[in-house]
Structure 1
């Protein structure tokens, strides 16, 4: 089975039992009696590409690139020949890098030049974008991490790729990134200026200096990397913006995103896309350092000291307080670090031990009201832990205990708890994990999605799990068995949010196609499509009485819908100053919480009047939830913290800091005792509220 290698052949498909192509009459060749061309992969510029088999390696797959220049004139042909030979030299120079195709052979046969290289089994990122939709920030960060490590090696070899774009980046089956097509690459020298007017690279991805004068620097590859990330985040080819705005598009690239990115990633892309190459990062290593900043130093924890009174039998318990180095009370807004202090780090004196022991012996009733964990630590019992306490508005309040589940190999996008409070569900990249909430042990892992699981919800009867994904599908699962029930396909765009009505009959999904769909949960049939938003629907919630649907959108609005009539309630439509990321409704159905940017707004759901605005987070508030008793609002933020707010007064209660990366989702158990948070640090944390 051979494919015709005649570059002019209009139908070079596979032929059998013949020596000549029946379409063009050209002889069918086995190159060097070893490489059998099996399928045309297309091509452009000055080379055509074929999938082939290496007879000498048990018919192992390889790729043949044939020099087939589509240029006119001697100068153009000479330049194309140089570039083709350069690609072979670059591949040979870069050697056996596991994320760059290996050069297998370079030769001339039948008056044509051929290059044979390693076959990479995978999909290029442009195809992935077209099939699965725009990339999440987590995927972009993974891409940057992988590709920057490759570019670091390439640039150390003094090679400039000059054509970084999604088509030239392949994701292998093992998830690793491979950089291909070094046909435009150039050796870095002291002065790198090609012939004036020479354009090497691809429109939209090539930087200004490369477009105008053919100059090539490592910073040029970094620009192409930034343009690639923008394309994958927005779905918009940078050349489309360049045709309208020139290089001015790099100043307002954020306006074209379907979902906002963190301040940290935004600043990195700003510098990658800078018009002046001297203002970009100087090397791939510099970008990696910005992408992975060293952790901020944690100030040493002050030991917690309990001062026993001189006459414990007559001192009321309210006077037994925790002494701190500062005489002034701690302001209510100071974050409380949920961090355990090892007992071994606290070393009380002999007198303190004796005084504490007497206190415990003489006053059993008083002792019961003391901080038992701290008292035990002061007695020197090895292995005990004590949690820091602070005085909050005159009340002695302890910070929450914390448990971490290292769950996914990628960021955790969504969490949910079953109505009986026994099962925790977390969604990550392509996987969903089920956990025993009490023991923290994994029950099972569900696979089937081909993209990030952006939202999960559990039916009121606890039998059905629903997952929405960036792969544009919604899946229904039997929560008890883990078996997939059915898949609901959204043809147009990624699913960003799912929720289920209180009666368990209706599934609601929000999508990046700006629409909301209502589904019959039992049959999987689509009931209705609600239109009205002008941008991605990021979050949906249903009131406890099942009559009102709330949707938040990147168009900066919150819309309310009558679920019975499927009509919008326009008098209750509210606007934020930025994209709305999350909405939640209180258990009594009277209060709506919505988050946008780094603020949260509280609304009267019946009248539409604003009640409070919560400020305190320093980055995007990605998720909000309200406690079952309706008294506390919980917010998770990209500033890596979780905040608790008094829903009635609008005051901040405390801050929980424990995640090492952005908090993406928060939820509370039905009994109100356990707070669960999912994060980009690939973990789920359980916080005990009581």
Structure 2
């Protein structure tokens, strides 16, 4: 039996009154003759998410139904939204082949509303995990980045910007502990762009993302791949400190988060995180590959430092001049050899031996 907080109960009551799926929660009635709606998982500015079961499949597997509600009174804009929804849904379907992205099972529209049916991932969000067990160590956050950066690389390679990376949209799978990235903002943004209703023309409504986790260019409705890197960097800082981005002071000159005094991390890792969350696009990491290379290099720095500082043992009796190799010209080497031979063999060797020895040394 699920127990909800008063806040969730009030949300459930509100959604139940406003939506068809909300009214079907807990009943035996099937949505589209197959989906049994169990409960509400959450609600955002652009839609509602429900936990459901597919009653027609063996075992009645759980799934997630996202109801997107781009309200518009214009037939033209609704048609445009429908076209964009289908295009973005197909893109999500292609991405779902990745083990860290929920699989898209179905998508459809009806009565001016759009629905995505996705694989249900059993687990907890990183936000809930930090609240329950506390902030993470530097090693744990590095491991988190090593696991998430390849997912970003995969998304960007497929020309998709997530737009809403944050601890609430990252699940740790209960079965195998892998991190799963959920709730893509791309579909929502495309639907918002397609709507001509005045309520979707202002920046505050059209903006898809989360305050503090989204970089400035995203507020200007010009997200780029590096926007996801910024959000991932802010998420890593949250894991280290247990603080959200709006809880920190910000540099008055640059607008950047003043986070380093909140936690002790190695200098190299601090530099990487700081570059991930640079406000300036010119100073920020551009690609996931760049961040991964920096992390990998940082792991080798202690070894490199040892190599650079290793020196041969010093002999206190050896002068600086004696430490340097001395170059002796060939003619001088010959003269030295002759004098040594003369001192050793002056009384015992004939003159022709001297001539032969000189010839050998010269050659």
Alignment of 1:255-334 (within 5 A): 255=261, 257=262, 259-293=263-297, 295=300, 296=303, 328=315
Give the distance between the partners of 1:287 and 1:216, measured in 2 at CA: 19
Aligned mates of 1:157, 1:45 — CA distance in 2:
26
Residue 112 of structure 1: CA displacement? 3.6
Structure 1 residue 181: Cα displacement = 0.8
Q: Displacement of 1:236 after TM fit?
A: 2.2
What is the alpha-carbon distance in structure 2 between the residues aligned to residue 64 and residue 262 of structure 1?
43
Shift of 1:326: 6.2
Kindly report which structure 2 residues correspond to 1:286-685, keeping only aligned pairs within 5 A, or say none: 286-293=290-297, 295=300, 296=303, 328=315
- Alignment partner, residue 61 of structure 1: 62
**Cα pair distance change 1:248/1:233, threshold 3 Å:** farther
1:123 matched residue in structure 2: 124
Q: Secondary structure at the match of 1:260?
A: coil
CA distance in 2, matches of 1:83, 1:231: 34
Q: Is the 8 A contact 1:241 1:249 kept in 2?
A: no
Structure 1 residues 7 and 179 mapped into 2: Cα distance closer, same or farther (>3 Å)? farther
Kept after mapping to 2: 8 A contact 1:122/1:172: yes
Other-structure match for 2:238: 231
Q: 2:115 is paired with a residue of what secondary structure?
A: strand
C-alpha separation between the residues in 1 aligned to 2:19 and 2:283? 48
Residue 216 (structure 2) aligns with: 208
How many Å apart are 1:239 and its aligned residue? 2.7
Question: Measured at CA, do residues 102 and 248 of structure 1 come closer, stay the same or move farther in structure 2, by a change above 3 Å?
Answer: same
Partner-residue secondary structure (3-state), 2:232 = helix
The 1:82/1:109 distance shift into structure 2, 3 A limit, reads closer
Indicate how the Cα distance of structure 1 residues 82 and 277 shifts in structure 2: closer, same or farther if over 3 A, else same: farther
Greater RCO (CA < 8 Å, at least 6 residues apart): 2
CA–CA separation in structure 2 for the residues paired with 1:84 and 1:200 = 15
Question: Aligned equivalents of 2:236 and 2:253: distance in 1?
Answer: 16
Cα distance between partner residues in 2 of 1:121 and 1:254: 34
1:8 aligns with 2:10: no
Secondary structure of the structure 2 residue equivalent to 1:134: coil
CA contact 2:106–2:117 (8 Å) conserved in 1 = yes
Q: What corresponds to 2:159 in structure 1?
A: 158
Partner of 2:186: 184
Q: Is this contact kept in 1: 2:103–2:118, CA < 8 A?
A: yes
Q: Secondary structure at the match of 1:279?
A: coil
Say if 2:69 and 2:112, in contact at 8 Å, map to a contact too.
no
User: Could you tell me how far 1:91 is from its partner in structure 2?
Assistant: 1.4
Number of residue pairs aligned between Structure 1 and Structure 2:
283
CA distance in 2, matches of 1:124, 1:85: 28
Post-superposition offset of 1:230 = 1.7
Deviation at 1:80, TM superposition (A): 7.4
Output the CA distance in 1 between the equivalents of 2:115 and 2:105: 11
TM-score (norm 1): 0.37
What is residue 381 of structure 1 aligned with on the other side? none
- Within 2, Cα distance between the matches of 1:246 and 1:97? 41
* Deviation of the 1:247 alpha carbon: 8.1
The answer on whether the counterparts of 2:63 and 2:117 sit within 8 Å (CA) in structure 1 is yes
Could you say if the C-alpha distance between residues 183 and 6 of structure 1 is closer, same or farther in structure 2, counting changes exceeding 3 Å? farther
> For the Cα contact (< 8 Å) 1:207–1:223, is it kept in 2?
yes
Q: Aligned residue for 1:556?
A: none
1:111 shift after superposition: 5.7
1:147 Cα deviation after fit:
0.9
> Aligned partners of 1:159, 1:134: CA distance in 2, in Å?
30
Q: Could you say if the C-alpha distance between residues 216 and 126 of structure 1 is closer, same or farther in structure 2, counting changes exceeding 3 Å? A: same
Aligned counterparts of 2:278 and 2:312: Cα–Cα separation in 1: 48
- 1:175 paired to 2:177: yes
Determine the C-alpha separation between the residues in 1 that align with 2:235 and 2:82: 28
Distance 1:57 1:278 in 2: 53
SS at match of 2:18: coil
| Aligned partners of 1:83 and 1:183 also within 8 Å | no
Structure 1 residues 279 and 127: CA distance shift in structure 2, 3 A: same
- Deviation, 1:203, is 0.8
| RMSD value, Cα | 3.7
Q: Whole-Å Cα distance in 1 between the matches of residues 94 and 265 of structure 2?
A: 37
CA distance in 2, matches of 1:325, 1:65: 67
Q: List per-residue Cα deviations over 1:56-82 (Å, max 9, x = no partner).
A: 24211111111234x67759x869767
In structure 2, relative to structure 1, the CA distance for the partners of 1:220 and 1:61 (3 Å cut) is: same
Tell me if structure 2 keeps the 8 A contact 1:105–1:116.
yes
**Greater strand proportion:** 1
TM-score of the two chains, using structure 2 as the length reference? 0.67
Indicate how the Cα distance of structure 1 residues 89 and 223 shifts in structure 2: closer, same or farther if over 3 A, else same. Answer: same
Pair 172,37 (structure 1): closer, same or farther in 2 beyond 3 Å: same
Q: Secondary structure at the match of 1:270?
A: helix
Counterpart-to-counterpart distance in 1, 2:225 and 2:253: 19
Looking at structure 2, the residues matched to 91 and 328 of structure 1 have their Cα atoms a distance apart, in angstroms, of 68
The structure that is helix-richer by fraction is: 2
Other-structure match for 1:404? none
Aligned partner of 1:219 in structure 2 is 226
Q: Distance in 1 between matches of 2:81 and 2:127?
A: 25
Q: Is the 8 A contact 1:206 1:224 kept in 2?
A: yes
Question: Structure 1 CA distance, aligned partners of 2:111 and 2:165?
Answer: 32
> Which structure would you say has the larger Rg?
2
